[in-house]
Amino acid sequence: MTTRTYDCIPTRRVAFLGLGVMGYPMAGHLARAGHQVTVYNRTASKSIAWCTEYTGATGQNGTLNHATTPRLAAQGAELVFCCVGNDDDLRSVVLGEEGAFAGMAPGAVLVDHTTASANVARELHVAALAAGLNFVDAPVSGGQAGAQNGALTVMCGGDLAAFEAAKPVAMAFSKAFTYLGDSGAGQLAKMVNQICIAGLVQGLAEAIAFGDKAGLDMNLVLDVIGKGAAQSWQMDNRGKTMVADKFDFGFAVDWMRKDLGLVLDEARRNGARLPATALIDQFYADIQQMGGRRWDTSSLIKRLR
């Protein structure tokens, strides 16, 4: 993990729901920033392990706790952060008798970092307002490395006041935390992000496959063209690992297909035409059939070899 410093802000009582590959280090940055953090995870052993790891973390002036339900985790928290798998997972930790909303005090803010649908963001925003609470949809970009390094890009939708209340605390794990509009805007922006990534990775895969067939030294070629107009994050961080046929980095194919499914569902609703995205989604289905469900998204090149 990259060492980073944290802005001096008052200690807050916060909760974090979901300690997966993203949530675990994100919650850790909140602890390192000095906040009083209560965590919840469906597998309780991971919550216990998190508390053990971060007890005594640099800058920790408060307390760390784990809770057996989202409701208990959220009790007394000014801010509740959440990062789970999909729409249904999100509803399961937010709604119902043991959900976070049932434990939150009036005026508290739930910030959801799940990549989910814009519809569920709007649904939970309405439910929050009815309960006297606030909800911000705030999906992230930057992958596992961004979470570990506290350098995520966060795209936010919801009420501006709730966003402003959350931002100083969320900057513990963010390099950018940006307000984009009403409820659902964060999720829609994340869809734009995934459309861009899918196209860039497919283009890079085809370029490397072409260069290999042409007999070029593709590591050298990537060094050269990476200094010109073809440069991208994907080229800088995945180009040479694609050449080396290594695909155990970053964001898994299964998750990309989930995200592209959200994109294509939204496009059917709003009338956007996404022919390339729809085709690349099917290319990722091919990768799944090849046994690459947990390979990272750069594995698109496997179809071309």
Our measurement of the distance from residue 260's CA atom to the centroid of its chain's CA atoms, rounded to an integer in Å, reads: 14
Residue 215 CB neighbour total at 10 angstroms: 7
Report which residue type is found at 37.
V
Contact assessment for residue 24 and residue 46, using Cβ atoms and an 8 Å cutoff: yes
The H helix count followed by the E strand count for the chain is 13, 9
Q: Where are the beta strands (DSSP E) in 126-245?
A: 134-137, 140-141, 152-157, 174-181
Residue 68 burial by CB count (10 A; 0-12/13-18/19+): exposed, middle or buried? exposed
The catalytically annotated residue of 46, 167, 175, 190 is 190
Give the 3-state DSSP-derived string for 31-68, with helices as H, strands as E and coil as C: HHCCCEEEEECCCHHHHHHHHHHHCCCCCCCCCEEECC
Long-range contacts of 273-282 (CB under 8 A, 24+ apart): 274/195, 276/198, 276/199, 276/202, 277/195, 277/198, 277/199, 280/198, 280/199, 280/201, 280/202, 281/198, 281/257
DSSP tag of 105: P
Catalytic status, residue 213: no
Return the H-helix or E-strand segment holding 266: helix 253-270
Catalytic residue set: 190
